[in-house]
Chains A and B, each alone.
Chain A
Amino acid sequence: MKVTLHIWRQSKKSTKADFAQDGKMVAYELEHVSADMSFLEMLDVLNEQLTKKGEDPVAFDHDCREGVCGSCGVVIDGVPHGPERGTTTCQLHMRSFRDGASIYVEPWRAAAFPVLKDLVVDRSAFDRVVQSGAFVSVNTGAPQDANAIPVPKADADRAFDAATCIGCGACVAACKNASAMLFVGAKVSHFLHLPQGRVEREQRARRLVAAMDAEGFGNCTNQYECEAVCPKEIPVRVIAEMNREFVRSKLVEEPPSTKRVGGDG
């Protein structure tokens, strides 16, 4: 098959709020595309051709190409990760497009995710949110036996459903408010359903919400675009859980000493 690609090209890191100034859409014709190719393999073919012609290949993030590392992710025809539900860009195949299609490819757009080059964005804001409290404060050592606390299967499954988040950022890219609530909610929900995670629930809710706000992510206005594009189909119930946890944390007094200390904190 044959496709026409319209790809966002940008050579330098975004500096201005008005991203339209930083780059432009460029059209490329690509022939001999096989339906069995993944979307990224199709971009590989384009890049080989561009390189041979002496044109700068298109930069995009990717690594596992199995839908689990969360590196890849572009907006395809206006939808993060493209047309297939529950599918990352690397798992999308060209058989999802028709012969002769025009395909528009853009990076994630969000103030908290500045574009670094072409389709590559800086998602380090997610890491900083996690660093603020998405963990159980346990050091490496000799914890009790793994089976000492039974966890009801339903709870473990619910925790797992949230923990499958790959941190790709599609939820933010899909949201008109660039909200990170699905991502952060998934972290809250993962720990909330496990006894090990419940110990620090108030502190975690407070810190994650504060960090999320500080990074410049917007608020949720219940459009549920995030759920629709999430390649792991994380349900929006995690946002409700996060909100509940946040309100709950307000009712519980902050303990006198939560000052954090380096090393064993």
Chain B
Amino acid sequence: MKLDSKIPGGPIQEKWDARKFETKLVNPANKRKYKVLVVGSGLAGASAAASLAELGYQVECFCFQDSPRRAHSIAAQGGINAAKNYRNDGDSVWRLFYDTVKGGDFRAREANVYRLAQLSVNIIDQAVAQGVPFARDYGGLLDNRSFGGAQVSRTFYARGQTGQQLLLGAYAALSRQIGLGAVKMFPRTEMLDVVVVDGHAKGIVVRDLVTGEIRSHAGDAVVLATGGYGNVFYLSTNAKGCNVTATWRAYKRGAGFANPCYTQIHPTCIPVSGDHQSKLTLMSESLRNDGRVWVSKKQGDKRKPADIPDAERDYYLERKYPSFGNLAPRDIASRAAKQVCDEGRGIGDTGLGVYLDFRDSIQRLGKDAIAARYGNLFHMYAKITAEDPYSQPMRIFPAVHYTMGGLWVDYDLMSTIPGLFVLGEANFSDHGANRLGASALMQGLADGYFVIPYTIAGYLAGQKAGAVKPDHPQFGKVAGEVAAMTKRFLSINGKRTVDDFHKALGRIMWGKCGMARNEKGLGEALREIPALREEFWKDVKVLGGDLSLNQSLEKAGRVADFLEFGELLCRDALERRESCGGHFREEWQDDGEARRDDENFCHAAVWEYAGEGKAPVRNVEPLEFENVHLAVRSYK
């Protein structure tokens, strides 16, 4: 597998301008001859589809929800970063770039991250022009808050619903193009394969989730913006439909999958309440602006939190990381929570939880001020737990939240399959081994609004428009394979439900490849997952037919892919014999802090599919740091 990152030459500040200048253009009259298929309508997909249509390309856009507005991006709570420096607190493009590279534990490509920081400022301008109602101060100017891993206030927000407001902005732009006939939208449609003709991505095969019909769509390029794969763990903060299917099937058609083991465990989520639990709910990182994290200094302390005096509380983040305190980055805060729980100091019946306490802020600022900042989050917490976070601390615990790994892309966001572009959480590009809070929204929108509209032209300019039609035999072949898989699920008629298998996979993943990983556990996982997969194909029970709305069938396809992908994730975790960011190998640590091995692992691991039953091939893209000094990541 050839991995040419295509990073432009020159100083880092000028690389993006250089690329924009050297990229070939498609003239306006020709643009409408090219068709681009955009899979996904989250921040990345909706912004890409709208922007490409505005430029004049024909666009078809797909999502599995009943409306593009419901993509998982809608659930993002806390905010979006941008190096505006409106606060005059020392922020700059360079600082955002530096914080992101360091936050990612020096495992991201410098040039991409720099471009992201540059584009961050345009995103805010664009969103405001669309009518996104960001929070404002009394002077009418935009307000900011702080997020983890940064010492400046650069996070723009819309109460606790930033993702919703940004997505509605992108959805509005997309809707405008749909209304104009420039984008054809296919909701309730699931992409089940990529069609590669003569080495180039020229289409997709989809299933209409209402009628069950399997259809082919041909295009001149395919853009995947299908989100992350956190649900491989079953329980996560992701929406229930989030899946790996689109990227996994692209992988099996030749797209390299980079760093699947980089998964983010978010420190502040509502703990599991029972076996019925179907998902976990995030309590936004923004809460750590005003909430203090603590546990008792004593093991097994069963007193009520209010009865534990300050002197007997361990505000462990403030103690261990005095300069960042409660705003230590996510991987570090999660690990610290695990540590205190492992020591027997966790709270609640299960001992798997810590407190996030607003007592001091409420005393200092008043209840109203706290309600104005986090009202909807407090409301959500109270709904789920039946506890009042204004009068007693929240109980929180880490949960799977985000996936930094994804399909490998070059600087132009093109995968190893020419013509297949990957945006947003689905790619691996910008966050290295750990993503900082409020940076996913930024990346999704940078990719969709500002990167792909330029870079796709460079590819399309070399392609004859409409060269491949849906009657090309390759479409028939792929559609046949997809239909056969669908039929196979329905024919097994075993005894266990799809959810049952998904939960079993989740238990393996969380237990052996979660917050801490080691050689032994990963070895076990690598034996257990294929066994579970085999069991699935023998004993799963999927009822109903293929030519109708069939939610069990949809889930079966997604879980079948997770059962394959989970193995790759564990394999990647096993092979990365170092700790970095969210990937914590117990063998490589200094007193609970991750120990990187820059000599042997300063690279992205890019997995190449080798065929059914064959071990995948691990390729590497070396990472070079010319602008940021590789250092031990310290938040002390």
Contacts and interface: CB of A to CB of B under 8 A. Distances in A.
Interface string A151-193: 1110010011001101100000000000000000000001100
Interface range on chain B (Cβ under 8 Å from partner): 35 or more
Nearest to B86: A147
A66 B67 contact: no
Contact of A196 (B129, B386, B449): B129
Interface in A31-51: 34, 36-38, 40-42, 44-45, 48, 51
Interface stretch (B173-181, B530-538, B558-566, B587-595): B173-181
B543 A51 contact: yes
A136 B241 contact: no
B281 A123 contact: no
Interface stretch (B302-310, B419-427, B545-553, B603-611): B545-553
B239 A65 contact: yes
Contacts of B126: 138, 140-141, 143
A150 interface: yes
Nearest to B160: A68
Interface string A60-97: 01111111111100000000000010110001010100
Contacts of B544: 56
A52 interface: yes
A94 to B, nearest CB: 10
Interface stretch (A15-23, A124-132, A217-225, A234-242): A124-132
Given A51-B552, A143-B128, A156-B133, A132 B179 contact: yes
B303 to A, nearest CB: 23
Query: DSSP class of A's interface residues: helix, strand, loop or mixed?
Result: loop
Contacts of A156: 133-136, 140
Contacts of A109: none
Interface string B141-185: 110000000000000001101001100100111011111111001
A141 B182 CA distance: 18
B142 A127 contact: no
Interface in A1-19: 11-13
B484 interface: no
Contacts of B56: 263-264
B623 interface: no
Nearest to B139: A150
B133 A167 contact: no
A166 B168 CA distance: 10
A127 B70 CA distance: 11
B505 to A, nearest CB: 16
A12 B185 CA distance: 23
A34 B274 contact: yes
A54 interface: yes
Contacts of A66: 75, 281-282, 380
Contacts of B173: 135, 138, 140
A163 B541 CA distance: 42
Q: Interface size class for chain A?
A: 35 or more
Interface stretch (A98-106, A114-122, A244-252): A114-122
B541 A147 contact: no
Given A64-B74, A164-B164, A87 B383 contact: yes
A160 B131 CA distance: 10
A69 B168 CA distance: 11
Given A124-B187, A134-B172, A138-B130, A167 B276 contact: no
Nearest to A142: B122
B142 A54 contact: no
B179 A131 contact: yes
Contacts of A37: 274, 276
Interface in B576-614: none
B105 to A, nearest CB: 29
Nearest to A12: B548
Interface string B423-457: 00000000000000000000000000110010000
15 contacts: A36-B274, A36-B386, A48-B497, A56-B544, A66-B380, A68-B161, A124-B67, A135-B172, A138-B173, A140-B50, A142-B125, A143-B125, A143-B126, A153-B137, A263-B55
Interface of A: 11-13, 34, 36-38, 40-42, 44-45, 48, 51-52, 54-57, 59, 61-71, 84, 86-87, 91, 93, 95, 116-117, 120, 122-124, 126-127, 130-147, 150-153, 156, 159-160, 163-164, 166-167, 190-191, 194, 196-197, 260-265
Given A61-B66, A264-B56, 19 more contacts: A52-B497, A63-B72, A63-B239, A65-B278, A65-B281, A68-B74, A84-B383, A87-B383, A123-B67, A127-B185, A130-B171, A135-B172, A138-B126, A140-B450, A143-B129, A160-B159, A190-B131, A263-B32, A263-B55
Closest 5 A/B residue pairs (Cβ): A150-B140, A131-B179, A135-B172, A143-B129, A146-B128
